[in-house]
Amino acid sequence: MRANFRVVDALDLAWTTFETVIDSGLFHVFTDDGRLRFLPSLSAVLRPGENLFYAVLQRSRDSSGTQAAFTAEIHATFHTGWTINYIQPATFVTTIHEGRAKAWLAFYHSDEVND
């Protein structure tokens, strides 16, 4: 099996297709507007039934410290055209967090028909 790794603009992916996309730490850096721009770009590179795996830092928009708000953002972003296989707690090893940073590991597949 061959793997194809590229460094490209995640907001402009329509020039190629992939069977699987792995996002390790990108989704959580986007603003709400950025996520709205990222989704069509991501959808353009995956044909129906193809896979998206991502690991995203857990965070919250409210002061309660809960992670529910960010989980809601994930579901809100991928609510149309995607089937969730799982979202589960995970960790990232980083140089800026003591120990490990809390994360979500998710696996989706695309349901959309891409032009």
Confidence at residue 46, expressed as pLDDT on a 0 to 100 scale: 86
DSSP one-letter code for 10: T
For residues 15-26, average pLDDT? 83
Q: What is the pLDDT of residues 28-83, one digit of tens each?
A: 788 878 888 888 888 888 888 899 998 888 765 555 555 555 777 788 888 888 88
How much is the pTM?
0.74
Strands (E), 1-112: 20-24, 51-57, 82-93, 100-110
Tokens linked to 38: 């990222």
What value does the mean pLDDT of the chain take? Answer: 79
